[in-house]
Amino acid sequence: MSMDYRQSSETLLHGEFGVYPSKGIRYALSLTPTGLHIQRLVPKPEDDQRTVLPILDMVGCHTMRSRGSDEIFAYFLIYSYPLKKKKVAMGSTRTRQRLVRTFRVDEASDYEHNQVIAEKWATAIKCLIQGVPISSDTEISPTLQPKPRRLMLLLNPCGGRGNALQQCHTHILPIITEADISYNLIQTERQNHARELVQSINLEEWDGIVVISGDGLLFEVVNGLMERPDWEDAIKMPVGILPCGSGNALAGAINYNAGFDQAMGSELLLNCILLLCRGTVMPMDLVSVTTCSGARFFSFLSVAWGFISDVDIESEKYRHMGSARFTVGTMVRVASLRTYRGRLSYLPVLDAHRPISRSITLSPNGNLSPLKSHVNGPEDDLLPPLNQPVPKSWVTVEEDFVLVLGIYQTHLGADLFTAPFSCFDDGLIHLFFVKAGISRTALVRLFLAMEKGTHVGIECPYVVHVPVRAFRLEPLTRKGILTVDGERVEYGPIQAQIHQGLSNIISGCDRIRMTSF
């Protein structure tokens, strides 16, 4: 679907309505692809001021009848969550507040006709919210209504500050009910619970799997889907995230992709709930990561070594602080800065389309190569086995590193805008490395600038960024921490290749291309 129809200001529906409770007030309503224009008619206002309820702030629309059986009026209710400024002790902050507008359809002299009109408005509004294309020529009838969606919600009660269940009951469930989304809510009981669960679900029963947690639980879901014999179909199941963890990188990326201002905490959560209610789906790259024992993971976020993985894992002890744990962890690690010797090889983007020869799947002793771990998932056609040299077209650097990071989302945390140029399905791994020799001040400056994404403009000879399709990292320092999507993996040589658009993410955004789930 193209974006054009949303940008147009054509009037799709127009009508005059009362409100509830009545009080004689009347409004003229015009529905355009981007908003509901509301003009008061009675009592007549002094100026011609109109208010606009943006479609982007709406989550759903229901019709209703009043209790009395002789009541001829029908009503439609629009649920929206506009951003409002809120005063706090240190100034002001923004928050989304629930706003329900109820309009009374009283044009006809019988309920049935008024109900048809109310349904027509509700249908049109729901279509616009969910990105179903309609124009002024569209015959708007209930058959146009997007089908109700069924979501599997997986909630980690231990994620972040441990308040996911409370957030779920306060914000998530009431809003998705207004959006006509039906759901099964499952609380994970232990590590790997979600991973096992998604291995045996009937894909036909669900329109999406949404984690209410940090990025760690989605990592389990993605890998559980890839472990299924029908992984090719399973990984197409739209996945989503409602941020209730301490590492909310993917939520940060979804929020940015939708054009919202960078947000944290409940503002980020509410933005993501709104986008989930819209429900549009985009392809998302996955990176296949192979570790030294031959284990293979599918990653949607990052591979990290050195400073970043140290902070991530060492700050686990400050989990009660929520996302502030990373700030504290960063300060501690800057104070005792470490460097790691390693060999980093990568396939720069220019050479990326040439797959390596199939013959290298046999190791020198004739045994089957590490592709033994290649049970499911697409072939890593750019990667030789870990025990064989990288192709000559690759670039290799041997250095003392402060950090190495392969990232394929814009954000490394909700407030870490690490790769501003990244897109969900650009087929790129953004490889960053910071070499030893960088001063502590420059490193701190780099991370502070990362909050706004301005670090990419900073000239620093110790910081390198290369877009690649595949890379291999061979640590030469004996001890260290390697993470994939923030989860610790075995330490040793590791390699990765991008698989463009392998999965589907519920991004809720129609900025780029999309389909509905």
Ligand X SMILES: Nc1ncnc2c1ncn2[C@@H]1O[C@H](COP(=O)(O)OP(=O)(O)OP(=O)(O)O)[C@@H](O)[C@H]1O
* The amino acid at 36: L
Closest CB to ligand X among residues 55, 158: 158
Assess 174 for contact with ligand X (CB under 6 A): no
Residue recorded with tokens 């503002």: 267
The contact mask relative to ligand X for 475-494 (x = CB under 6 A, - = no) is -----------xx-------
- How many helices and strands in the chain, by DSSP H and E? 12, 24
Show contacts with ligand X in window 323-342 (CB under 6 A).
none
Which phi and psi angles does 464 have, rounded to 5°? -125, 140
Assess 157 for contact with ligand X (CB under 6 A): yes
**Mind giving me the DSSP string for 153-209?**
EEE-TTSTTS-HHHHIIIIIHHHHHHTTEEEEEEE--STTHHHHHHHHS-GGG-SEE
285 is catalytic: no
Contact (CB, 8 A) for 450 and 417? yes
Q: What is the nearest approach in angstroms of ligand X to the Cβ of residue 325?
A: 8
Give strand pairing partners of 58: 80
Closest CB to ligand X among residues 140, 211: 211
Q: What is the nearest approach in angstroms of ligand X to the Cβ of residue 90?
A: 26
Which phi and psi angles does 142 have, rounded to 5°? -55, -25
Assess 224 for contact with ligand X (CB under 6 A): no
Cα→Cα distances 476→30, 39, 339, 398, Å:
66, 69, 11, 9
Residue number of the CB closest to ligand X reads 214
Assess 284 for contact with ligand X (CB under 6 A): no
Assess 163 for contact with ligand X (CB under 6 A): no
Closest CB to ligand X among residues 60, 240: 240
Show contacts with ligand X in window 334-393 (CB under 6 A).
none
Strand 463-475 versus strand 340-348 pairing type? antiparallel
**Which of left, alpha, beta for 180 (phi over 0: left; psi -120 to 50: alpha)?**
left
Give strand pairing partners of 342: 399, 475
Assess 246 for contact with ligand X (CB under 6 A): yes
Assess 240 for contact with ligand X (CB under 6 A): no
Interatomic CA distance for residues 76 and 369, integer angstroms = 63
Assess 159 for contact with ligand X (CB under 6 A): yes
Contact (CB, 8 A) for 361 and 335? no
Alpha helix stretches (DSSP H) within 346-504: 440-450
Cα→Cα distances 493→289, 383, 386, 478, Å:
11, 13, 7, 11
Among 207, 215, 310, 380, the active-site one is 215
Interatomic CA distance for residues 203 and 334, integer angstroms = 46
Q: Which two tokens stand for residue 304?
A: 């990290």
Q: What is the nearest approach in angstroms of ligand X to the Cβ of residue 222?
A: 12
Assess 309 for contact with ligand X (CB under 6 A): no
* Stretch in the footprint of ligand X (CB under 6 A) among 111-119, 182-190, 289-297, 489-497: 182-190
Binder among 22, 92, 182, 191 for ligand X (CB under 6 A): 191
Residue recorded with tokens 């019709």: 63
Q: What is the nearest approach in angstroms of ligand X to the Cβ of residue 346?
A: 26
Assess 156 for contact with ligand X (CB under 6 A): yes
Residue 243, H or E segment: strand 239-243
Assess 247 for contact with ligand X (CB under 6 A): yes
Interatomic CA distance for residues 76 and 189, integer angstroms = 41
Strand 208-213 versus strand 239-243 pairing type? parallel
Assess 189 for contact with ligand X (CB under 6 A): yes
Q: What is the nearest approach in angstroms of ligand X to the Cβ of residue 383?
A: 26
Assess 310 for contact with ligand X (CB under 6 A): no
* Stretch in the footprint of ligand X (CB under 6 A) among 125-133, 150-158, 264-272, 450-458: 150-158
* Stretch in the footprint of ligand X (CB under 6 A) among 186-194, 233-241, 299-307, 429-437: 186-194
# chain residues binding ligand X, by CB under 6 A: 21
Closest CB to ligand X among residues 32, 246: 246
Nearest to 289 by CA among 300, 281, 278: 300
Binder among 18, 33, 60, 160 for ligand X (CB under 6 A): 160
Assess 215 for contact with ligand X (CB under 6 A): yes
Assess 217 for contact with ligand X (CB under 6 A): yes
Assess 23 for contact with ligand X (CB under 6 A): no
Binder among 245, 342, 406, 475 for ligand X (CB under 6 A): 245
Side-chain half-sphere exposure of 502, counting CA atoms within 13 A: 25
Assess 158 for contact with ligand X (CB under 6 A): yes
Closest CB to ligand X among residues 484, 498: 484
Closest CB to ligand X among residues 245, 252: 245
Interatomic CA distance for residues 479 and 472, integer angstroms = 18
Interatomic CA distance for residues 171 and 32, integer angstroms = 28
Assess 220 for contact with ligand X (CB under 6 A): yes
* Stretch in the footprint of ligand X (CB under 6 A) among 62-70, 243-251, 394-402, 462-470: 243-251
Assess 188 for contact with ligand X (CB under 6 A): yes
Task: Give the residue numbers annotated as catalytic, written as ranges.
Answer: 215
Per CB under 6 A, residues contacting ligand X are: 156-160, 188-191, 193, 213-217, 220, 245-247, 486-487
